[in-house]
Amino acid sequence: MSKSALRKEKWTLSFDPGLKNLVVKAAKRRGVYPVAVLEGLVREKFNPYGHTDVEDSAEYVATIRKRGRSQSDKEFLAEIEAWQKSQSS
């Protein structure tokens, strides 16, 4: 395969400096590159109910359990109904 076929596509994004600082701080806390934080946010927005992109399964389960304690049964059922509607369209 030629070298040009193996090159990654490069993008340049420009956005609010305040947002940029938040992304950089989040990346430093996680110990990853800022682009990894942005990719994670985009994946989350396009697949909000998915679990295939979970990086740390223990943290994911702990978060779900904590959220479940604070959420009423009616709110939980409404979330399931919203998910079902989003899957059927």
HEC-encoded secondary structure of 26-89:
HHHHHCCCHHHHHHHHHHHHHCCCCCCCCCCHHHHHHHHHHHHHHCCHHHHHHHHHHHHHHHHC
What is the Cα–Cα distance from 47 to 83, expressed in whole angstroms?
A: 11
Tokens coding 58: 């223990």
- What is the number of other CB atoms lying within 10 angstroms of the CB of residue 37? 19
pTM over 0.85: no
Could you list the pLDDT tens digit for every one of the 89 residues in the chain? Answer: 555 556 677 777 777 888 889 889 999 999 999 989 888 888 777 776 666 667 787 888 788 888 778 878 888 888 888 888 887 65
